[in-house]
Structure 1
Amino acid sequence: MLRSPIPMVLLWGEHGVMIYNDPYSVFAAGRHPRLLGSNVLEGWPEVAAFNAHVMKVGMAGGTLSFRDQELILHRKGVPEQVWMNLDYSPVIDESGQPGGVLAIVVETTDRIATEAALRESETRLRGVLDGMGESLALMDRDFRIIDMNAEALRLEGRSREEVIGKTHWEAHPDADPALGEMFRQAMATRMPVEMKHRYVWPHGRVSWISMHAYPVGDGLAVFYGDVTEQIEAEERLRESEERLRLMADAVPQIVWVTDADGRSEFFNRQWFEYTGSKNDPFSAAQVAADFVHPDDEAVTTEAYDKARRTGSIFEVEHRIRSKEGEYRWFLVRAEPYRDPRTGEIVRWFGVSIDIHDRRLAQEHQQLLINELNHRVKNTLATVQSVASQTLRNAASTQQAKEALEARLFALSRDHDVLTRENWEGADLYDIVEEALAPYSSRGEDRLHLEGARVRVPPRMALAIAMALQELATNAVKYGALSNEAGMIRIAWNVHSGDTGPRLHLKWEESGGPAVQAPSRRGFGSRLIERSLSQDLDGKAQIQFPATGVVCIVDAPLT
């Protein structure tokens, strides 16, 4: 499941605890990562009834499959209508009974939207075809007329019923025989053909018709028009060019065209809105010099020269200056258009796609990965050191287990504090309070914390937490927390040193059993002194007066 490129989630146990792979985290969007490990009914409350049915069927050993299931999800804080292909099957546990349900989630929202857009596009296309100034007729493989646009019917001067469904020869018995042969040639060779011919319409009007037939699917698309009036033909051409510009201006990215030598022929509206330029750039070289970031100009020019030299696709990522003076990253791609007769490149059709947000996201992701690697290595090194020292100095396996668990638990609690602070440091009061929380009992006032709110770096936070854990453990076994009357006072302050601010912290026990200095220094004492003295370039001293253990720490805050 974890290796699959398809979004999958395991709903484990009767409550459907969610365990999923990376593609599902993308599907979950803003709900990840808090969704991981949550119960499915609580994780997706807006579709709780749907998921309850899934869990009931799956835990009973049944399977479910939905295609283009419509649901309303709150993945980014707002309700959104989505469609999905969903497959659910039970996962058998060691007892042979369903222990959970595996869900395969493939979102089809884009396809549904695309199909809707396609239907809308087809409607628009019918409007465009009916608005064309040129006649269009569609023929099937038997040369039967299956559709005509409005202009064709107007030119015909007949109703649809009189033409649609008839073959070319049935509908136009008086047409030039060469026209029928032209259609047969186009159908046989699957190559476009054209001709101009004189035609007498059924109502008696004589015209010169320009005819172009193009193979489309199994049939032909036949464009034709009355070219008797050249002015009308020129007007149709102008309208066609205007439609092309409108279509290019509707594209949300920058669209451009240059000739074979890089001289500009066309830039759509998006270019002028983004750059604020009033005039078309003279050439691609001028774009690189005036609008591309200076650091990207050389690589852009090199890639463009190579594409022109080899006739390959031109593709590069560079930054383009906006009208506000800011630079954003664009993916620029252009393909050459060749003269059908000579094969020579005559134009470059290009598009510049804004990828600025994607670039920033990729850079941020890499930064997070590097930072995570660094922190994991440091944590593992700390765990390795604690484990090694604990095992080396333990008198028994049970003692080693208890000591190691306590030290790792202290490290874990301190990591919780640092995680809440994004590992940029932590408040010393929170560190001390978290480290001593297991030793505080309700209704007792035996732990006294005195000190200002001081932020300490992550490394110092870990060292202090480990030291306090060792001191508290010893206090429970032998010191102030081993009876009902002892107390512990932890006080700290910040004072100026020769190289900057320094932290002074004092642990002082009182009211416990009389203290005697140990005959040998255990690992706990060495852990405190080494971690605070060596690792933090500070000073640590543990004293054993009869009234109670005292530990004094002095270390730089930077």
Structure 2
Amino acid sequence: MDFKALFSLSPNPYVVLDTDLRIVWMNDAYLRVTMSSRDAIMGRKMFDAFPSEPGTESHDLLLDSLMHVIESGEADEIALIRYDIAAPDGTMTQRYWSATHSPICEDGKTRYILQHTVDVTELHGLRRMRDQMGLVKRAGAIQARNTDLEAQTERLRRLFEQAPGFIAVAEGPRHEFQMANIAYRRLVGRDDLIGKPVAEALPEVVDQGFVDLLDEVLASGTPYFGSGEEVFLGADDKREQLFLDFIFQPIFDEQGTASGVFIQGHDVTEGVRAQKRQELLIHELNHRVKNTLAVVQGLASQSFRKIDPDGEARRIFAQRLHALAAAHDLLTRENWQAAKLSETLETAISAATGGDAERFVMNGPLVTLTPQIGVALAMTVHELCTNAIKYGALANDEGRVLLDWTVQPQDDETQRLTISWRETGGPPVTSPERRGFGTRLIEQGFVTQHDGKAVLDYRPDGLVCDIDLAIPMAPTTTVFDKSPADAETLAKA
């Protein structure tokens, strides 16, 4: 390339460097402004011809600008830089410069750098002009702001790329990819996304309705939330089933119009598959337990037929088995995880009393029970309901049962649950002459297995049973209040 023919006659200083920062050409104006000769600097590296201490602002600012041009292929400017040079007598003179660095490309690659240098030392030295115009100060401030913005942009780019969740930005009605981080590219198995519409870059998602969702978000300006949604990604012969939690968030322009969609989410495939495996195992467990209860009921019916002619013992046993099955059904609905105390009580009461369940009033905070405690409490409530039907508040049409419960912290891991069963409006109550099997189950059976106790108080106006047991620590802020009858009136009864 004949640089001399292009720039030798220009009054503006120009110098050409190769990618090793070696001076390969300069015009006469450059030699004049730098007070050097062609023989002295031709073929030498820039920082050898014009030395500057590495680590100083002058050295690093110039080096960064030149390397940016080489690496990016884009022009770069230095609005103001102090760079001292040697005078012909060898003394260093203070100089201020403004420089523009432009790439000279061959075959699409940067081969040379054209530096246009302007000596602004006089401008910088004229305090009056600087004070009036603020040119140098503004130039320095702009340079500092540009440097800071570039650093912030680079930090944001790194954060975007390294984000653990997948992120992408699609712009325009065709949803063309503008950005996609590493996690997103890894998710879809493609790197060539930028500039392509979603339908072109990921054709497999079109028939799955995801492009329609993007259209709807862009048209309505309303975000779309997906939870555990199934999607198939990859080429036809390598298509993979995934489950994703994600959001399509509209991006609005200055006029408030949705112009793009921000895509962000997480791959929850392993969690969803684990949940499905757990549900399968629970369904299998439920099936086996129901079969076992059916076998037990059949064996009991055959056994009681010979020893219980009138069927009373068989009926009581069947009711208890039914209460156990009802508690099991509740746990089945909760996937054998923690069940609410209120639901456990409702299920046990409904199984034992049928339509008389409306005669119960329940008040207390939200409490969750482990499966074991839930079954034990359900069996205890069943026995109390049976006693109320035979002798207590449910033995007539006017009686009611009030159920209240509270919780108090015991230590960092457990709390004490206190349940008060109070009957009112039933026949007069007297203490029984002997303790039946059901009473022993209430006082000594189910609840005592869980560091608890149940105390029966046979008051004349109605039976009172106080149950106290330890349960794991859990939130109890939400109040449950189901009161088909007037709870306040009942409490005064």
TM-score (norm: length of structure 2): 0.36
Larger RCO, structures 1/2 (Cα 8 Å, 6+ apart): 2
Larger Cα-atom Rg: 2
